[in-house]
Amino acid sequence: MGVVVEREEWALSPFAYPLLSAAALAAVLLLPYLSPRTAAHATGPSSPFDVGAAPFLRFRRAFLVLFSLASVVEGIHSVFGEDEFVRCGLGREQTTARLASTTAAALFPGAISGVISDKIGPRRACILYWVLQLAVGVVKSFSALRCSWINNFILAFASSVFSFCFETWLVLEHEKQDQKQDLLFDTFWLMTFFESVSLVGSQEITNVLVSDDDSRFLLPYAFAATLSVVGILYIRNASSTCQHASAIGSYQKSFLAHVLRDKRVLILVLAQASIHFAVSAFWFLWAPTIVADGRYAQLSVIYPCFLASRMLGSAGFPWFYGAIAPFRNEDSLTIAYVGAGLALSIVAYDYQEIAPLVIVFCIFHACVGFILPSLARLRTMYLPNELRGGMMSFSMSLANAATFVFLIQRPPSTRCKLNHPEPCVLWPVRSWGLRPYVEEVEEAHSAECP
């Protein structure tokens, strides 16, 4: 006699995403009128997008468009790549092994990528990033090579370059044109804001282009490759930023003195590595955590809420720094770290009600959206610009090493209750990963527990 399993579907409130987006946009649009930092200075333009001298203003607008395109490419490979593991027939253990080996293989190239960027200049480093993304798009256009591990290695290397090349290019261009630091700090949070918007857009683009039909399966990669070509052509035609290339020995001495022996910068390295590791661990575990009680949930709807919360956190950054901010700048960053830690601590106590989980995950992403531009601001204050890429790649290597250790851990044995399934490491498929995971949970609990 067959057993019929009744399934309950949990639905997100339809007002959640519009409210988060409206709050983020309100924080951006009301900033020139209500922010104490803006009121304390001379009156300026009514929009944070229209500040600065004309040459830098043109550069920043073009830079944000190019950075948004790069974020779209990152999002396409992230969302579509996760679904690819399922389509290639890889299980949880195989997926974890693939990601662990890729992370380990990218440790050394990722560590030296920042040094290479500091030596060749951020403009060429941005071109390298687009070339890597173009290579992945071309290789994955062939079905036989789609599941090759080399694609994951190149993507991991490209993500490492992406984490610092655009920021370094922006900082050097800002220094070249001798603009005010406030303009640079505003661009930092705008980068985080536009990145979140672009990641949401990449999910929509992927959902439109992807299909069960094999003839249309490669369209997202073709679109990403096309954007890569556009990025390469734009940067090649953009004006180059002159940068003095120091000798290797001088760079090593400078890095040792300003990074490894400076306690402030070393703490900044560890803080940056910790937030990168926390975000990576979150993306591994959020999907199985959400569906851990056996109910259906629309992951593709929950995912944009996380990014909308990140938009809100980044839009709140300019309200909390400056001479008359409600807290000191470092205190605001500390509060954000504590808030992110407390949000994830609730999940650590095996709390499995979906609604509170979504709330604490949104709080975590709001804190992340505030932390990222805050760390960029501190890097500008305490770190020489010629060492920015090396310092950021060093912190990314620490985060990747921690991620590798995290991925090779063996999960505990399967538990008996359906609302306490086997903890696992699963790369979350944001739009399509719910059904395979729920089916595995049901199969695991169909047998008798010892």
d(CA 12, CA 284): 21
The verdict on residue 38 lying in a domain is no
pLDDT digits (tens, 9 = 90+) for 70-127: 999 998 887 766 667 777 777 777 777 778 888 887 788 878 888 888 888 888 899 9
Model confidence at 267: pLDDT above 60: yes
Residue 403, in any domain of the structure: yes
pLDDT tens sequence across 172-226: 888 887 777 778 888 899 999 999 999 988 888 888 877 655 554 567 888 888 9
In DSSP terms, 10 is beta-bridged to: 297
The candidate with the shortest Cα–Cα distance to 245, out of 382, 117, 381, is 117
In a domain, 36, yes or no: no
Residues 6+ apart with CB under 8 A from 218: 140, 141, 143, 146
Q: Is residue 400 part of a domain?
A: yes
Name the 3-class secondary structure at 10: strand
The Cα–Cα gap between 79 and 90 comes to: 16
Task: Say if 277 falls within a structural domain.
Answer: yes
- The one-letter amino acid at 6: E
Residue 234's CB is within 10 A of a number of other CB atoms, namely 16
**In contact, 67 and 191? CB cutoff 8 Å:** yes
> Cβ-count burial of 97 within 10 angstroms (0-12 exposed, 13-18 middle, 19+ buried)?
middle
Which domain CATH number covers 229?
1.20.1250.20
pLDDT in tens, 312-354: 999 988 888 765 566 777 788 899 999 999 998 888 776 678 8
* Residue 363 placed within a domain: yes
**How many domains does the chain fold into?**
1
- Read off the tokens for 186: 């505003």
406 pLDDT above the threshold of 50: yes
Domain that holds residue 315: 9-25+54-240+248-446
Tokens 């070509």 sit at which residue?
229
- Alpha-carbon distance values, 299 to 291, 296, 432 (Å): 9, 9, 8
Q: Considering the chain, what is the average pLDDT of its residues?
A: 77
Residue 99's H or E segment, with its range, is helix 92-105
The pTM score is 0.83
